[in-house]
Amino acid sequence: MENLSAKQFKRNFVDTFPGDSSGDLHPRQTPGMLYSKAVPTAVRKPELIAWSAELADSLGIAEPNSDDIQVLGGNLVTPTMYPYAACYAGHQFGNWAGQLGDGRAITLGEWENPNGNTWELQLKGAGPTAYSRRADGRAVLRSSVREYLMSEAMHHLGVPTTRALALVTTGEMVTRDMFYDGRAADEPGAIVMRTAPSFLRFGNFEMLAARNEIDNLTQLVNWTIERFYPHLNGEDKVLHWFGEVVERTATMIVEWQRVGFVHGVMNTDNMSVLGLTIDYGPYSFLDNYDPDFTPNTTDLPGKRYAFGKQANIAYWNLSRLANALIPLISDKDQLESELRKYEDFYWAKYYAMMADKLGMDGIYNEDDVRLLAEFEQVLATIQPDMTIFYQLLIDLPTSLATAEDVVNFFRSSFYGEPDPTEVAQLYTLIKSYQARLRANTCTREDSVLRMKKANPRFILRNYLLHMAIEELQRGENTLFLKLQQALKDPYSRSHDEFFTIRPGWATQQAGCSMLSCSS
């Protein structure tokens, strides 16, 4: 185990690619550069409030001492670190946004773990960079708690994600207009240290293609393949690499759908080429099952990034990445063919996932597909709590003889009383589902086991996060610590104090249902 402040960091990325080493933090365009040096801006009083010991152990990082906390706060940069902000572009809400870059994230360097793998360590909220545009590069406690807890929650749910190692408060206030409505207010500042094998996004490649920097684009693609897809080689390796990005992206989206996660801001600059969930902002889990729900106020009124649209948006984003790779692939038809595989990947993975959620031994025919569609239609109509509904389904008794029996069994998942038509729809669905279960070739015990592994019992709901953040702002951490513990064991009944539908007050409470991109 090594301390952050004593580690010999690697700097493969900055040693490989051209960058602006001036250290100038003024916002500007940086053509020809893949990054700009960005030394964190010191804060008054960094205090550690959360540390992911499990992640630290896997990376070989020792429990932080006083010098390490200075690193986490951006006050100490050791000689082997080379802090930088990456340059990338992106399509935001479907529109080309040009150069973006790390506006409030600063990578300190690459940490080599005991297995010889490297992980980028990055501070989010450590001050301005050349890509901060008109912003201050800071993060508030509210958004930092959300990123810290949710990235770790997603990991324990089994969803591909970046991770969070530490959370510190800065002892300083940060001014934010939470809903972009002219009501700016001061909030406590905080910094998250997040980590991943790489934070490379679709937008890194889009930026180079848009600037016609083909040599840099070629070098970045080859470097990415060599480091993260080393099994690929030969003349068609770029094509095959894109195909693997397509499949990893489909996998990630299906996992989002499994647990009811809504990212909220699926811009191409927020899409990882490693298939990781990246950049936790105005996200949410579904409470009531609403495919049209978006947690992002900035996404209104079109709801481009709503829960039910995420699979299609991922395909659109992949098409933007494909466009960026056209200069490197001679056969455009093959590139398009790899892109079109997304649909096959997605549906194969989706059907397998839904079979697990429902305890079915597979999706074999059109009748099974129709049953899945019926589930989707009925849930979208009645809108029960997604998590609680599927948990109840695990324990569905065979003795439910009437529509009233069915409604009473699922009542604890309802946000409103279903009308007679909805009751009839639910009853018909459950009877069809029970008939399908009887046709399983696996045992009931095997079916239930698959359901328990596929359906979380604890999810990190927005209203719980809101309450924990309010407590932290008052100097209390009881709920925060409870949530930090619960998220590590989301499939058990160990934390059933949180197994309840969203309270009515949270529907309209700011920060409990929808948030802006400033979150």
Residues 460-491 pLDDT 10s: 999 999 999 999 999 999 999 999 999 999 99
CA–CA dist 489, 496 (Å, integer): 11
Buried b (16+ CB within 10 A) or exposed e, 359-377: bbbebeeeebeebbeebee
Buried b (16+ CB within 10 A) or exposed e, 177-215: ebbeeeeeeebbbbbbbbbbbbbbbbbbbbbbbbbebee
CA–CA dist 197, 160 (Å, integer): 12
217 to 17, 203, 234, 238: CA distances (angstroms)? 10, 12, 18, 11
Instruction: For the chain, list residues with pLDDT below 70.
Output: 178-181, 513-514, 516-519
CA–CA dist 179, 298 (Å, integer): 9
Q: In the prediction, which pLDDT does 180 show?
A: 64
Q: In the prediction, which pLDDT does 519 show?
A: 46
> Global pTM?
0.96
Catalytic residue among 20, 68, 102, 269: 269
| Cβ neighbours of residue 215 closer than 8 Å, sequence gap 6 or more | none
Check: CB of residue 262 under 8 Å from CB of residue 345: no
Q: In the prediction, which pLDDT does 334 show?
A: 96
Q: In the prediction, which pLDDT does 491 show?
A: 98
Cα–chain center distance at 32: 30
* Residue linked to tokens 């098409």: 319
Residues 23-31: contacts with CB under 8 Å, at least 24 apart: 24/130, 25/127, 25/128, 25/129, 25/130, 25/132, 26/130, 27/128, 27/130, 27/131, 27/132, 27/133, 27/134, 28/130, 29/99, 30/87, 30/99, 30/101, 30/130, 30/131, 31/211, 31/213
Verify whether residue 20 is a known catalytic residue. Answer: no
C-alpha angle with apex 57: 198 to 125, nearest 5 degrees? 50
Q: In the prediction, which pLDDT does 59 show?
A: 97
Q: In the prediction, which pLDDT does 182 show?
A: 74
